[in-house]
Chains A and B, each alone.
Chain A
Amino acid sequence: MDSVLFISYVPLYVVLVPIITSISLYFFPESQMLVRKAGCFFASLFSLGGVIWLMPYMLEGYVYCYLIEFMQFGLFFKVDIISWVFAFLITLVYFLSVIFSFSYMSFEHNLRRYYSFLIFTLGAILGVVFAGDYFSLFIFFEIMTFSSFVLVIHKQDREAMQAGSLYLYMAIIGGLALLFAILLLYGCTGHLDMVPALEVLGNQRFSILLLFMIGFGIKAGLIPLHIWLPLAHPVAPSPASALLSGIMIKAGAYGILRISLILFRPAGEGSTADWAFIFNSGYILMWIGIITMLAGALMALLQSNTKRILAYSSISQMGYIATGLGVAIFMGLEGAMGFTGSLYHIANHAIFKAGLFSMIGVVYMLTHELDMSRLGGMARKMPLVTLTFLIAALGIAGIPGFNGFASKTLIHDSLLIAHSDLGIYGIFVAERVFVIASALTICYFVKLFHGVFLGQVPEKLDHKYSLSLSANFVMVVFAALVLITGLFPNLLLELLFIPGAQILGFSDSSLQPLFGFGFFEWYPLRKMLVVILLALLIYMPASARGWFDWTPPPWLSIQKVVFKPLPQLILSFFFRGFNINDMAMGQFYEHTDNDNNKREDYLGELEIFPDSAHDEAGQSAYYTSGKGLNRDRQLKQHFRSFFWWDQDQWTIKNLNFDNLLLVFVLGVILFIVFSYGS
């Protein structure tokens, strides 16, 4: 396919209009809410319109524009069909979330800050997906981190501040890893364009890949870098949670996609590229995805806070996306199905997860409850919310006829094809885990739906609820999108995702099965049936015996085992030396003048009482080291406030990480599944 280059400044306007709107809205007084809402509404509408306007160009080629000398190295925008898919999702979900904010945020404080940063983040995140080189991408990525931080901590209570600071520090570490990777890349290639360059990277390819993966993986919430996500997403206001989970983590997936499927590819025909390296990186990414998928689903099962279930569910769904990408990478040019599957899943997840967060947000808005144990029976109180929630939940569970089904089928099929092509046993195992994780997804949504919408209405919440038109509109649109995509799965696939795969250079033979893919034939439906049966098999005994209320002990959480002590250890050991050294030097300089004065006394004493002079010296050393240790203690205290939560905060209900345990459980379940499979 010949691609045509169009020069257009529309991408630039689409990025800049929200940013400029945001800055100018900040200077309006707090009371002028109408102006503020209108500004946000039209800015997001403008971005949506601009992105749709770009659509015809996308089908023929690229759009690019170049701002020479901006930031001295030039900002470069280049939009191809993959960027366009992301940009369209971003602007669509943003538009809906802005509308949802109007009703949701009416009982919140500090609206000036909220709306300004909300719309600012839109510009930044569009900049990330429109960026044509890694320099521009990095710049918008960092801006996005900082502006979304303000959305995370909007509540400003203790929980939000702690979640926010964890998010911020992890994101900064990720940003620095990214910067390091980009600098190394620049050192190797001499430019930062997004072109295949595996041969040029030489020995540094491993460190570059690793650093990129850390940088984007933190944003994408891949295990083990996801610890911020289940804390940060639930504490934000619901429209912002919808954006964080639906959109912002996709920026990480977008980065991984760009890196692994473009940068780490051989630069041309017949080159001596290291296919073994590509295979290994894809294989590892696939396994990270599989583990993320399973661990996220298991952790979601054990939660009782509704938003936290959704946050863990996001981690789990990012695992699906990473798995699809991993398969696409290690299959080389034959990986079109894995790629389209994960791109499809990115689109689907953006729709249903943003929708689910909005619906849970509506429940919270009306009842001010997030915990499932204090909710129930909402189906009678809010029928429309129940219906839309059910549709979105069926979408995420992958039930045929709803959108998640299509993308999960594609990813699953890509695993099967990879297994039959390559015959690696590990892929077979991965496929089985995929099935289990899909079954667990159904389980935790059954649990969530049951907890919130079915059962008895608690007395406290037993009154009539009415909902504004805008919130209803948003939920209906999300549900309709889920249904339309689900009922016509081939429409988007052929319009957007297959052209996306074509520009990445996947071979025709692997693209061929995707045209007119039979989603509603017996074969994929049968597999879904197995998943549903397995889900029933897990859910029935587990809910009867209360396994979902089980809480893992704290020593199993990697947050406690690794992430809290590690930075403290490093910083404490590494910088203790510096601190004591600085203190001692300060003392040394200070004492030189005292000692000068006292030297004669010392000299006199030295002849008479050598012991006392030694004593003096010993005391001085003791004093110096004591000061140094004191400072070291301050350093520790300082870090404790970042990284150490109070032990009381580790309530049993919402404990986080327990991978070790998950591995154990995984082993047991795998054993069962293998015996039924072979």
Chain B
Amino acid sequence: MGEATAITIILFVIFFPIVMTPILMSASGRSEKLRNILALLTSAITFIMVLTLYPFVVRGDIIQHTFFEILPNLEISIRLDVLSFSLTALASFIWFLCAIYSLDYMAEEHGGSRYYPVLIFTLGSCLGIFLAGDFFTLFVFFELMSLISYILVVHEETEEALKAGYKYLVMTIIGGLALFFGIIITFELGGTVSLGVGTIINEGSLLALLAFICFLIGFGMKAGMFPLHVWLPDAHPVAPSPASALLSGVMLKTGAYGLFRVIFNAFSIEVMQTSNWDIILGVLAVITILLGSAVALTQNDIKRRLAYSSVGQMGYVLLGLSILNENAITGTMFHIFSHAFMKSCLFLAAGAIIWKTGKRAISDLGGIGREMPFTMGCFSIAALAMIGIPPLNGFLSKWTLGLGALDANATIYVLVLLISSLLNALYYLPIIVPAFFEIVGEDHHGHALQFDVQDATPKMLASMVILAICTIIFGLSPINIPFDLSQMTSDFLLRGGLF
């Protein structure tokens, strides 16, 4: 396959879902079944097409292609390197699983004819972000995704959902404006916003700092960074569970991806470190980690606790980005993978519990593990991975991040990681331990308590089980594609982001 094929494939994976959106809309008028199958097929085909790009990436090829220029030096372009590929593959995989899950979950919900097209459209725009070749294209897709996913957030149309959606919308617009401002400053300083030129801004002037802060607001808002995380714990829980899984598992990562691009393509490690901007990021990351974990402790709504946990976990990603050495970048990338698998699994399992039993409060979940053993089993595996229990993948990412922090002589970061692990244990174990071991019902001797095993439907279970297996395999197995990709990414980025 040559470069032209690759460009075609890239265009295909971005625009195929977008093109399918109106088709899905018209199909939903005829038959729900047809619509569902089409949505599933779209996400499956997208995922498979993304995988065909793997040989290019492994060879170390970079594809940077400009289609046309809107203004001089302001272009619409695409780019494929190992960083974009990792996130694209991850996003399309999770999307595919969530589409499978949605088939049963959304069957009894209202508004399926709105939900599926929006889901698929968001996939296209999300992949567009990861495959964009310059900040302007990235910005366009970023705004597209943010605005469209509003529909997913408010899907339930309850008062709570509308309120959370409004907050999300306001924050998104603030973030988008900041981002746009940052792009303008970058363009002003460097004359281009393309990702293909290596470092755009070479010195840390005041204006450059302003650009950095604007980027930080724009992308950090999306990534749930303190103090811009406030929309996240409201918006994620109110969405339907597969959408929550996507919002937490994948869409948060677009913010992290943006920061990757800002640090390595708009600026460079030298600029970051000589101007001490990495310290800004580091401090915010530490606060984000501790805040997310501490506040998660007080939540009694299971999805809200998971959402706050996402805040904390995204802090790890930001922490790795602030340390900026090989192990830290590997750890950050691997944590992006790990967190996507773990958190999607957790949200899907929590969604299945709510769907089946209607219980949202953690205090009511005692004994649920007996009724829904597989769902709760997946939940437990993902939660243990979240705490960082070996041999699950969460441990591997924390270990690598810890090594990175030590390489940079930042013992305090290791301490923060460990405190956060402890807090994770404190808020996940009270969910899973009573779920399996608490005796509910009349008999307090543990004898002859019969539970009706009524687990989630096979389609819902399938996606959860696949994710749970991923958390085990990608921690334990010697052949670990996400880890290899993470290492390749850190190799690639630390050699200047361009070669």
Contact = CB atoms under 8 A, between A and B. Distances in A.
Interface of A: 67-73, 109-110, 138-139, 142-143, 146, 153, 155-157, 161, 164-165, 168-169, 172-173, 176, 179-180, 183-184, 186-187, 571, 574-575, 578-579, 581-582, 585-586, 589-590, 592-593, 631-632, 634-635, 638, 641-642
Contacts of B234: 586
A109 B230 contact: no
A183 B403 contact: yes
B446 A176 contact: no
A589 B300 CA distance: 22
B230 A165 contact: no
B425 A631 contact: no
B439 interface: yes
Given A187-B407, A579-B298, 6 more contacts: A71-B391, A72-B480, A146-B389, A592-B170, A632-B298, A638-B298
A180 B99 CA distance: 40
B444 A578 contact: no
Contacts of B411: 184, 187
A142 B478 contact: no
Nearest to B287: A578
A176 B418 contact: yes
Contact of A582 (B295, B391, B418, B483): B295
B22 interface: no
Given A138-B390, A635-B297, A184 B227 contact: no
B374 interface: no
A248 B446 CA distance: 26
Contacts of A179: 399, 402, 418
Interface string B390-407: 110001100100110011
Contacts of B415: 180
B426 interface: yes
B101 to A, nearest CB: 25
Interface in B258-312: 290-291, 294-295, 297-298, 300
Given A71-B476, A579-B295, A638-B298, A146 B384 contact: yes
B414 A582 contact: no
Given A143-B390, A168-B429, A585-B230, A161 B478 contact: no
B491 interface: no
B291 A578 contact: yes
B207 to A, nearest CB: 28
B475 A183 contact: no
Nearest to A581: B291
B438 interface: yes
Given A586-B230, A635-B297, A109 B422 contact: no
B115 interface: no
28 contacts: A69-B478, A70-B476, A70-B478, A110-B446, A142-B389, A143-B389, A153-B437, A157-B439, A157-B445, A161-B437, A172-B387, A176-B422, A180-B414, A183-B399, A183-B403, A184-B414, A187-B403, A187-B407, A187-B411, A575-B290, A575-B295, A578-B294, A579-B294, A585-B227, A589-B230, A634-B300, A635-B298, A638-B298
**From A142, A164, A631, residue with most partner B Cβ within 10 Å:** A142
Given A143-B390, A146-B384, A168-B429, A156 B439 contact: yes
Contact of A169 (B294, B300, B426): B426
A184 B406 contact: yes
A638 B167 CA distance: 29
Contact of B297 (A139, A164, A638): A638
Contacts of A592: 170
A182 to B, nearest CB: 9
Interface of B: 166-167, 170-171, 227, 230-231, 234, 290-291, 294-295, 297-298, 300, 384, 387, 389-391, 395-396, 399, 402-403, 406-407, 411, 414-415, 418, 421-422, 425-426, 429-430, 433, 437-439, 444-448, 475-478, 480, 483
B389 A582 contact: no
Q: Which 6 A-B pairs have the closest CB atoms?
A: A187-B406, A575-B294, A69-B478, A139-B390, A578-B294, A183-B402
A551 to B, nearest CB: 28
A179 B419 CA distance: 12
Contact of B396 (A71, A156, A176): A71
Contacts of A153: 437
Nearest to B445: A157
Contacts of A571: 297
B418 A155 contact: no
B221 to A, nearest CB: 11
Nearest to A631: B298
A170 B396 CA distance: 22
Contacts of A161: 433, 437-438
Contacts of B402: 179, 183
A139 B407 CA distance: 22
Contacts of B295: 575, 578-579, 582
B447 A173 contact: no
B461 to A, nearest CB: 16
Contacts of B477: 70
A156 B437 contact: yes
Contacts of A632: 298
Nearest to A108: B446
Contacts of B476: 70-71
A157 B167 contact: no
A547 B399 CA distance: 52
Contacts of A631: 298
B438 to A, nearest CB: 7
**From B298, B389, B422, residue with most partner A Cβ within 10 Å:** B298
Contacts of B298: 579, 631-632, 634-635, 638
A597 to B, nearest CB: 13
Contact of A139 (B300, B391, B433, B444): B391
Contact of B446 (A70, A109, A172): A109
Contact of A72 (B291, B396, B448): B396
A172 B430 CA distance: 14
Contacts of B433: 161, 164-165, 168
Nearest to B330: A72
B478 A68 contact: yes
Nearest to A634: B298
Nearest to B418: A176
Contact of B403 (A157, A172, A186, A574): A186
A180 B297 contact: no
Nearest to B448: A109
A585 B448 CA distance: 50
A173 B444 contact: no
**From B390, B402, B444, residue with most partner A Cβ within 10 Å:** B390
A576 B310 CA distance: 20
A73 B480 CA distance: 12
Contacts of A68: 478
Given A186-B403, A581-B291, A638-B297, A155 B390 contact: no
B390 A71 contact: yes
Nearest to A574: B294
Contacts of A638: 297-298, 430
B27 to A, nearest CB: 38
A73 B327 CA distance: 13
A130 B445 CA distance: 39
Contacts of A187: 403, 406-407, 411
Contacts of B395: 139
A176 B423 CA distance: 11
